[in-house]
Chains A and B, each alone.
Chain A
Amino acid sequence: MTEQPDPLIHQPVRLKIMSALKALPERDLLEFVRLKALSGATEGNLGAHISSLEQAGYIEVQKDFHHNRPRTRAKLTRAGRRAFEDYVAFLRGIIGET
């Protein structure tokens, strides 16, 4: 277990992004518009947080065209999944759960 919470995940919007992506089966991707709805973030805010998580290697962003419309989707990387699990373990450690 880590000594400190991961500062990259320990931020309300990024935590929601990571939680939403963690809820997906491993190879599934979540569309940006749905991530926006689930996180409650504005488009610009969400974009900035996604960039931070992508730069850290926690999420992978894929852009393509679907029914002739641009589509942006994201999924957790293996490193992101591990970091999120460590973060949850850290929180559980604080409240005395193992």
Chain B
Amino acid sequence: MSLTPAEAQIALKDIEKTENRTAASQYHRVSSPYLIMWGIIWIIGYTVTAAIREMSIVWMPLIVIGVVGSILLARRDASGRTQEFGWRYGASFAVIGIFNTALVAVMSPLDYNQMSALIPLAVGVYYAFIGIWTKAWRMMPLGLALIGLTALGYFMIPGHFLYWMAAVGGGGLILGGLWMRTA
């Protein structure tokens, strides 16, 4: 059996294509349950914040639930890819948390809408970077959509912005998570 260089090149390209598709599919699937869980947390957080007009009481326990939930999800499916991806996911969220805390401190005083827009904007940037730098390319349109929809709601319907973020931000994350599952 002999192969020409052109046939060998085609076989190598096929291998690369399949390896990339497999890795992308795995990255997307790993991110799916996290997105769905945080989407639910956003829906609850923004809806309750809109109703009672008190941010810290609502968000502190929800963030704790989200962090604990993320750790449990990572432990539940302790595949090599989850472990590889999970610690980066956690570490990146920690960086975003620090960044947002510093940003809020520097920019204060901020009103409810400004505070509520900051985290989705930062998370949108984070997701877009994941999509650009890793094989999980679907995170890029998800991140850009999050940024665009947050800005749209902030400027177009400031009176109902928190409900907008519950529906579009939280709902968007859930839809994004379901989309990742199809990869």
**Consensus secondary structure, chain B interface:** helix
CB pair A94 B5 closer than 8 Å: yes
Q: Are B26 and A16 in touch, CB under 8 angstroms?
A: no
Shortest Cβ distance from B135 into A: residue: A23
Inter-chain contacts of A30 with B (CB < 8 A): 22
Contacts of B11 in A (CB 8 A): 10, 15, 91
Q: Is B54 an interface position by the 8 A CB rule?
A: no
Shortest CB-to-CB span from A7 to chain B, Å, is 7
**Contact string against A for B residues 19-53, beta-carbon threshold 8 Å, 1 for contact and 0 otherwise:** 11111011000000000000000000000000000
Shortest Cβ distance from A6 into B: residue: B1
Which of B76-84, B98-106, B154-162 participates in binding chain A? B76-84
Instruction: List chain A residues, Cβ under 8 A from B20.
Output: 23
State in angstroms the CA–CA spacing of A20 and B22 once bound together. 6
Identify which of residues 69-101 in chain B touch chain A, using a CB-to-CB cut-off of 8 Å: 79-81, 83-84
Say yes or no for A22: interface residue by CB 8 A criterion: yes
- Tell me which of B15, B80, B84 has the highest count of chain A C-beta atoms within 10 A of its own C-beta: B15
Contact A94 B22 (CB under 8 A): no
- Whether the Cβ atoms of B8 and A19 lie closer than 8 Å is no
Residues of A with C-beta under 8 A to B134: none
Q: Which of A7, A25, A39, A95 contacts B8, CB < 8 Å? A: A95
| Of the residues B3, B12, B19, B81, contact of A22 by C-beta under 8 Å | B19
Chain B residues whose C-beta falls within 8 Å of the C-beta of A20 in the assembled complex: 18-19, 21-22
Cβ-closest chain B residue relative to A97: B12
Interface residues of A in 12-52 (CB under 8 A from B): 12, 15-16, 19-28, 30, 34, 38-39
Q: Which residue of A lies closest to B12 (CB)?
A: A91
Q: What is the minimal beta-carbon distance from A59 to any residue of chain B, in angstroms?
A: 14
Q: B46: shortest Cβ distance to chain A, in Å?
A: 32
Which chain A residues lie closer than 8 Å to B1 at the CB level?
4-5, 7, 10
List 29 contacting pairs A-B, 8 Å CB cutoff, sorted by A.
Answer: A4-B1, A10-B1, A15-B18, A16-B14, A19-B15, A19-B18, A19-B22, A20-B19, A20-B21, A20-B22, A22-B15, A23-B20, A23-B22, A25-B79, A25-B81, A25-B84, A27-B80, A28-B80, A28-B81, A38-B18, A38-B25, A88-B12, A88-B15, A91-B12, A92-B12, A94-B5, A95-B5, A95-B8, A96-B5
Known: A7-B1, A20-B19. 16 other contacts (CB 8 A): A5-B3, A15-B11, A19-B14, A19-B18, A21-B22, A23-B19, A23-B22, A23-B23, A25-B84, A27-B79, A28-B79, A28-B80, A38-B18, A88-B12, A91-B3, A94-B4
- A residues with CB within 8 A of B: 4-5, 7, 10, 12, 15-16, 19-28, 30, 34, 38-39, 88, 91-92, 94-96
